[in-house]
Structure 1
Amino acid sequence: MVDQSAHLDPRKLREFGDDLQSTVNFYKDVLGRLEGGVSRLGNSWRDQQYAEFVQEVKTLRQGLAVYIAEAEAARKHLIRLSDGGEDILKVQIR
């Protein structure tokens, strides 16, 4: 018979959650710098190609917003699992 229980390492879950948060912070920072640069560039570049570029940046922002929301939700879930796993380990050790 196959063991159906989940085997999780709370420390690894937390580490992955922290790595995920670092990635989210990186993308937020990059996106903020990109949008600031595009805005400054708009002071001197106003043509059809600029408008297309701005649209691409908006599309990127929308896609990253979805990723960031999902990643933040996943991180919260991993932390809850990690906390629960630590509680289970404490009970098993006693």
Structure 2
Amino acid sequence: MAANRWLRPEVYPLFASVGVAVGICAMQLVRNITTNPEVRVMKEKRSAGVLENFEEGEKYSQHSVRKFVRNKTPQIMPSINKFFSDPN
């Protein structure tokens, strides 16, 4: 039946990758709804109009992950790249 077709060990990596992708999308959605200064869910906050709130926007755009990778080299594996590209 359908359960025997889809619940095989070969399909587990597919379930895992789709689960991670859905988790990332859900995390970004929750982050935008809760912390984005341009999104206002409550009716009282929507009536305020356009706010000149630069500190909150800076806090939202410069989050901890961006601060962590700011001074890193834009390489996936810098130690391996350095080993193969730099002569001794």
TM more than 0.5: no
Q: TM-score, normalised by structure 1?
A: 0.35
User: Which of the pair has the greater relative contact order for Cα pairs under 8 Å at 6+ separation?
Assistant: 1
Q: Which has the higher helix share?
A: 1
Normalization by structure 2: what TM-score?
0.36
The structure with the larger Rg is 2
